[in-house]
Every structure is written in C-alpha cells, then in structure tokens.
Amino acid sequence: MARNVEIKSKLLDPHIIISRVEEIADSGPVVIVQDDTFFHCPDGRLKLRELSANQGELILYHRPDVSGPKTSTYVISQTSEPGKMREILSAVLGVAGHVRKRRHLYLCGSTRIHIDNVEGIGNFVELEVVLENSDTVESGQQIAEELMIRLGIQSGDLVEGAYIDIIPPSVLPETVVIGL
C-alpha cells in the first residue's frame, strides 16, 4: 500500500492560506470538484471519488483519527464508470455517507496541499506528504510540521477524523453549493 503523512485543519479565511501556499508551491492550483461516496467497511474507509461522469477512483485507506500528523496507508483504483461502481457498492455494502468538495490542489516538493471547500462544514487545508518506500514516517512528520509552521497552521485548528465524520446529518447531497 502507498503511504503518506497528513494533517487536516479548519480554515477561517482560505484567502490568507492560499497566498502563503502560492509563495512556496512548485505548481498549482489545479481546481478539482470531488463527489465522494463512503461505503460501510469493516476495516478502514472505502470511498468512491467521482470526478466526472467517466472518471472516478475507488480508494481504500487506513488512518488513525488523531489531530496531529498521522500516517495513512491507501490503495487507489481508477474507474471509467463511477456511476455503475457506486450503484454496485451501494447495493453490496451500503452507503455510510457523502462528501462533496471543491479542492484547490498545489504541489510543494513531496507534499500535496489541498485547500478544500466542503459542503456543509466550510473550508479546510490538508497536507499530504507522500512517502516513497525508502522514506521514514518520521521524515514525513517533520515535513508536515515544518509546513504547518510556514503556513501558520495552528495545532488547535487540526481536525482528527475525515470530513465524513464532521458533516451534520442534516446536510443532504441534493443541497450542494460549492464555491471558494
């Protein structure tokens, strides 16, 4: 499985963090609209990310629900029929929840920086330090902590779990307003 070290933090003003990210990023932003359906899964989290009618990713990942830099292991499979995949997985596993977001993706060295506007819960920044096989978790944690300092991310703003964990049940997929 692939690995990364990641943090997620609530943002009050995404424009401040965007200006800081643009100062250090190697590339970006790439704007991506993501529609994630989470399925009941006894071990880890399983989600289907729909990027368009003919492009999606099935993602299985394991990550502890802690607020600081944490290691995530994952495997991703591409699909050209995300609608059919969602229909099958919904019938077999059942839907655990739904997350829709507009993501601004920046790259900074080995780190993917996401500025996310998530339907129903607001704006977030996420750092994903992608680890190669030879990289240690500690080196990834160090990179994440250094980027937190450079970007002004406060430890008190860190989020423990996934977006799906903090979306209120009253937010229905049909009431989408995505913007940043």
φ, ψ for residue 47, nearest 5 deg: -135, 150
Using an 8 Å Cβ cutoff, are 22 and 131 in contact? no
pTM for the full model? 0.89
- The predicted structure's pLDDT at residue 170: 63
- Do the Cβ atoms of 66 and 144 come closer than 8 Å? no
The string of pLDDT tens digits covering residues 62-119 is 999 888 899 999 999 999 999 999 999 999 999 999 999 999 999 999 999 999 999 9
Cα–Cα distance between 107 and 70 in angstroms, integer? 19
Q: What one-letter code names the amino acid at 141?
A: Q
Report pLDDT digits (tens) over 39-52. Answer: 999 999 999 999 99
CATH topology of domain 2-165: Hypothetical Protein Pfu-838710-001 (2.40.320)
In whole angstroms, what is the distance from residue 9 CA to residue 148 CA?
Answer: 10
